[in-house]
Amino acid sequence: MAVIQALRTALFYLLFLGQTVILAIIVGTAAMIRRGRTDFGWRVAQYWAAANLTLLRRIVGISTEVSGIENLPPGPCIIAGKHMSDWDIFALLPHTSGKPAFMAKKELMDIPFFGQAAASFDTIMVDRKAGAEGIPRMMADARKALAKGCRIIIFPEGTRKAPLADPDYRQGIVRMYRELNVPVVPVALDSGLYWGRNSLVAWPGTARAKFLPAIQPGLTDAAFRALLIETVERETRALVLDAIDRGIARPVTGDLAERARAARQAAAG
């Protein structure tokens, strides 16, 4: 089964990367001609996300389930999600009220056409090499996005993590919460069980994301950080362990088995 699934995954990557490049060139070129967000660009983005979810379902066997949408407040907010897979982007995009503003590394924004396309969606650039000097620009871009009615999507750990890996939340989300004064909606998910970072094999199953009750402005930095981490990690752990208990195609061995065992012991304790 692993060999067949690897071949299916390779076909998915070929189609996924191919259409991403083509659409980036189209939207990037359009953005060079007409700067800013356009209905055309948003329709292409919707198609891109839906098409990739369809490819995952039909070729790889990964279905999508999103719950807790009622927890999204009307108007601008920050969506702070766990990050395990590119699936997370496809699954969250439809729930941004047509005005997403993703956080993205400067290296991605420097890619020809892709960078122009991303900029047309009010993407907020994160320049890690600039250190503290890059924060004012990041915050200024975030304020502009919120003023336009955007929902900012941020992955607070800054990179994709393996299921049940130790959390590593960065301070950027804390500063955004303190200074932007909008609700933060935590998101738990288990997509890494099916499509992991740099994985050559994507496994069939139902990837799930769950929007959790919004954290309202007004907490101290420490209280907000603790609540965000506790909420996201608890609900993510529940999703992952529930999926394993129900049975998944991916072999639960090695590091995953050890992390699952440790998570169960911690929960019991």
What confidence score (pLDDT) does residue 86 get? 94
Phi-psi label, residue 49: left if phi above 0, alpha if psi -120 to 50, beta otherwise: alpha
Output the tens digit of pLDDT for each of the chain's 269 residues.
689 999 999 999 999 999 999 999 999 998 888 777 778 888 999 999 999 999 999 999 999 999 999 999 998 999 999 999 999 999 999 998 878 898 888 888 888 888 888 888 888 888 877 766 778 888 999 999 999 999 999 999 989 999 999 999 998 899 999 999 999 999 999 999 999 988 899 999 999 999 999 999 999 999 999 999 999 999 999 999 999 999 999 999 999 999 999 999 988 86
> In Å, what is the CA distance from 139 to each residue of 26, 95, 103, 130?
29, 23, 11, 14
User: Which pLDDT value is given to residue 11?
Assistant: 97
Upper half-sphere CA count for residue 184 (Cβ side, 13 Å): 28
**Long-range Cβ contacts of 119-125 (<8 Å, 24+ apart):** 119/31, 120/27, 120/30, 120/31, 120/35, 120/36, 120/37, 120/38, 120/41, 121/37, 121/41, 121/42, 121/45, 122/37, 122/148, 122/150, 124/152
Rounded CA separation 27/215 (Å): 34
| Contact (CB, 8 A) for 215 and 186 | yes
> How much is the pLDDT for 107?
86
Cα(269)–Cα(267) distance, integer angstroms: 5
Q: pTM here?
A: 0.92
Longest Cα–Cα distance of the chain, Å, equals 59
| Cβ within 8 Å of residue 251, ≥6 positions away | none
Q: What is the reported pLDDT for 263?
A: 93
| Contacts for 113 with CB less than 8 Å, ≥ 6 apart | 24, 25, 27, 28, 29
- Residue 119 is predicted with a pLDDT of 82
pLDDT of residue 85: 96
